[in-house]
Amino acid sequence: MSANVGSIDRIIRILAGVALIAWALMGGPVWAWIGVVPLATGLFKICPAYSLLGINTCGIKK
């Protein structure tokens, strides 16, 4: 798999992931642990859903 998550997309995913995980740690709802998903996709620059849909926000042509 090649990278398909661009810079701005990565920043948004990482911030959203960290915010959701922090909320879960502070006693938020259990579903807030879903923040692990955007955090991981932002850190690894790969989104499986983007691959299935043919989306690429990183600007690198395949």
3-state SS, one letter per residue, for 26-41: CCCCHHHHHHHHHHHH
Note the pLDDT of residue 62: 52
Note the pLDDT of residue 1: 74
Query: In whole angstroms, how far apart are CA 25 and each of 5, 43, 44, 57?
Result: 27, 20, 23, 31
The pLDDT tens digits of the residues spanning 8-50 come to 999 999 999 999 999 999 999 999 999 999 999 999 999 999 9
Note the pLDDT of residue 47: 95
Note the pLDDT of residue 43: 96
Decide: helix, strand or coil at residue 60. Answer: coil
- DSSP annotation of 10: H
Note the pLDDT of residue 61: 60
**Cα separation, 33 vs 50, whole angstroms:** 21
